[in-house]
Every structure is written in C-alpha cells, then in structure tokens.
Amino acid sequence: MFNNKRDHIKTHAGGAAIVELSRIPLFSNLYHYKKTIKNIMPRITTALIMCGVLFATFSCTQQSETPFDSSSLVKPGDHVKYGSYVVYKIGEGIYKINDPGTTTGRYGAWGVDMYLICGEDKALMIDLGNNYIDGCEQDLIEPRENAAEELRDVVYELIGKLPLEIAISHLHPDHDGMAGAFLDSEVTFWVGEGENIAAIQSQHNIDPSILTVFTQGEKTFDLGGERIVETLLVRGHSNGHTIFILKKDLLLFTIDAYGNGVGQTFRSVESLKIFAEDAQKLVDYISANFSPYERYGLRVYVGHTWLNVYSPYYSPNKEKVDIGYLDWRYVQNLCSCAKGILEGKWLVEGSGLLHVGNMSQVDWWGTAGQAIMVYDLGTIVIPLELAFEAAGLEMSD
Ligand SMILES: [Zn+2]
C-alpha cells in the first residue's frame, strides 16, 4: 500500500496528520514538514495506518445506493458526506465539494476541493477534482465504483434544473480529473488561456477538444441573480491558472495559484517572477474594486484546504491552525513575500521578510540550502540559490 517511504498518511476534519510527505511537483507546498511531523507523530503512526486502511477500504467500497440528500445543508458551514465527498455549504447556493483524499495515493490524492456556485439562471462548477473513474497513475489513485454517478448525484442535486458550466482552474490531474462524469451532457468545459490543454489527454485520456479556452480578465460567468463570477490570471503554479472572484459574496477562489495556508512553492526564478507580477495585479485589482470593508471580509478558498491548518509554516512547537479559508491579509502577505525575495529583502534587517532556513522541514527538496521565506502570513519555499538569482545577487557560502 505504501509503495514508497515518502508516501504519507492523513486523516481529516480535526485529525489532519502527515507522517511522511514527499515532493509534490504539482501543488508542492507542504512536503518540507516531512521529518518534523514524522518526529512528533511516531506513536500514532500505526494507528493512522490502520485508519488509512479502513478509510481507503470504505472509500473504495462505498457506493451511491442512496441518492444524495442536500436537505441538511441549511446554513453556511453545514456539511454532509456522500460517498467519496464531503459537501459543505459555504454561502447561499454556494458549495465546496471536498474530496478528503486517501492515505494511499500521493499529491492531489491527499485531498482536493471543488466549488459549485448557483445563480438564478445557471450553475458554475469550479474544478473537477481527482479522477476516480479511471484512477490516476501519477497520483496513485485507484478507480472507484460508481465514481461518475456519485459526483453527478451531488452536483445535480445541488443545482436542480439549472444548466451547468464547468471551469477548470488549471489542468493538473487533481483538478480536471472527473471531466469524464460530464462528457455525455451539454456541459461546457472552460479553461483559461495559457494552460496546456493537451494535458487532459495524457492525464485522463480525454480529448482536449472538449475544452473551450477563455481569456482571463475578459471572461465572466453571469449566473443570473446578479451573481457574476469574474476571472483573473495568476501564473506561477501553472502557466494559465485562473482564479475566480464572486464579488457580491466576497469570495475569491484562488485554488492552487496562490498557495495554501502553508504558502507556495516555486522551482524556478521565472515562475517566482511571474507570480510576483500577477499577485501584485490581484492585490491592485482587489484594492481598486473592493471597498475596505469588503476586502476585509474576503474569504479566500484554495484547492487543498486541508493544508491551511499548517499555516503559515510549520514548526514542531507550533499548534495547527483552525482555519477553513484564507483572507485579504494572506493575499497581501504572499505578494509581499514574492516581491521581497526578488528584492533580496531577506538580507535586509527589519524588512519583514525572514529567511527561515536550516530547519528540518525544509529538507524535502532533497538537497541542502533550501529556504522558507516568510512574510507574516505569506510563505514561499524556494531553493536558496534561486532566491539569490531572483534577487540578482551572488550567493555567498
Ligand atoms: Zn492541486
């Protein structure tokens, strides 16, 4: 089951614990906690493995024999489990469809979130989670029985008779995985410009021609009832990652573009630079279009909410954070963190940017000299030599 010592174990909803984390090329954020958490969790490892086995067994055998019943989703925060998913009401007609993940896969298999927004005329689903129809080799995900039916049950129960459109934030296999569940319907699949649309073919054997490409910033989804979802481009994690803004409800869906509570990881100077550029545009956009009161109340939803509990960076002496979504302060801090690295500010006393290095949890890159850069709530993990390069500075020994 654990084919690799780097595989990890996780429980959910109040019991998140990671025993071994590995590098995650797709949404790579957390994995530097590997050793630390291993060190503080050894006694419960066995128990977690057992829980994992039970959870995986349950997940794989669960079948959607009874229809999904959304009647218990009355007020925001209410949630209900159904097969592979936990559905949360996060606003009037707005839902988070959480795949709590498994302990047996890796990367996106450890848990991912999708979102569903209903207007008066239309419903928009943001993202399609992990592929449980055919499984996903890359993330070591096995197919599940009735996977497509299960997700359709949830979505169509929540949207009723509203026509559905689906917008995929970025074409990583943990975000476009269940496209197959909606192929036979009238659904339009949207994806932002800049993403590699061929990826859906290689990941899930789905013809990229199902995708309709839109330009971020120009495209809006008018769902009726004054519910308009705006789009913005935030690159860095991927080349065409879309974030979604529902201003009226003060909601921002950043998915993987803006990290999770634990921060964001970059593996090249270029990706850090374009992120800093786009993050600044996002901050400017919100500053210009939201009143102070509105932006203070902004709720920021990410693609892997379970990682938020480790916000902003893990230390053995820190307690996990009780957090479901991020906020405007986080958005500003992560932007400042990226810009600060480009300006070499971690070398400037009092700049606010701290280089947290030489910690056990930064070793997930596998080589020495990695850096966690922290600016208040915003954390960026980047190889130290790349940070120097990004800042245009010589790295001294
Ligand atoms: Zn992801």
Q: Average pLDDT by consecutive 10-residue portion of the chain (397 residues)?
A: 29 29 37 36 37 42 72 97 96 97 82 97 98 87 92 97 98 96 94 97 95 98 98 98 97 96 90 98 98 98 91 71 94 98 97 78 47 90 91 87
Ligand 1: centre distance to CA 393 (Å): 32
Ligand 1 midpoint to CA 303 (Å) = 6
* Structure confidence at residue 335 (pLDDT): 98
What secondary structure letter does DSSP report for 111?
-
| DSSP 3-state of 113 | strand
DSSP per-residue string spanning 122-185: -EEEE------SS-BGGGTBPP-TTHHHHHHHHHHHHHTT--EEEEESS--TTTSTTGGGGTTS
| Confidence at residue 312, expressed as pLDDT on a 0 to 100 scale | 65
3.30.300.210, 3.60.15.10, 3.20.20.210, 2.40.160.20: CATH of 31-331 = 3.60.15.10
The DSSP symbol for 260 reads B
Residues near ion ligand 1 (CB < 5 Å) are 27, 174, 256, 303
pLDDT of 152 reads 97
What's the pLDDT score for residue 315?
Answer: 67
Q: Is the dihedral of CA 26, 30, 35, 40 positive or negative?
A: negative
Find the 27 Cα to ligand 1 centroid distance in Å. Answer: 5
Residue that has been written with the tokens 């496209």 in this structure = 179
| pLDDT score at 369 | 56
CA–centroid distance, 253 to ligand 1, in Å, is: 13
User: What spacing in Å lies between the alpha carbon of 112 and ligand 1's midpoint?
Assistant: 7
Give helix then strand counts, H and E, for the chain.
8, 17
pLDDT of 56: 44
Q: What is the pLDDT of residue 3?
A: 28
Q: How far is the CA of 302 from the centre of ligand 1 (A)?
A: 9
CA–centroid distance, 28 to ligand 1, in Å, is 8
Q: How far is the CA of 64 from the centre of ligand 1 (A)?
A: 26
Tokens of 215: 């330009």
Rounded to whole angstroms, the Cα distance separating 140 from 124 reads 29
Record the pTM: 0.84
Residue 220 DSSP SS3: strand
The amino acid at residue 2 is F
d(CA 63, CA 70): 17
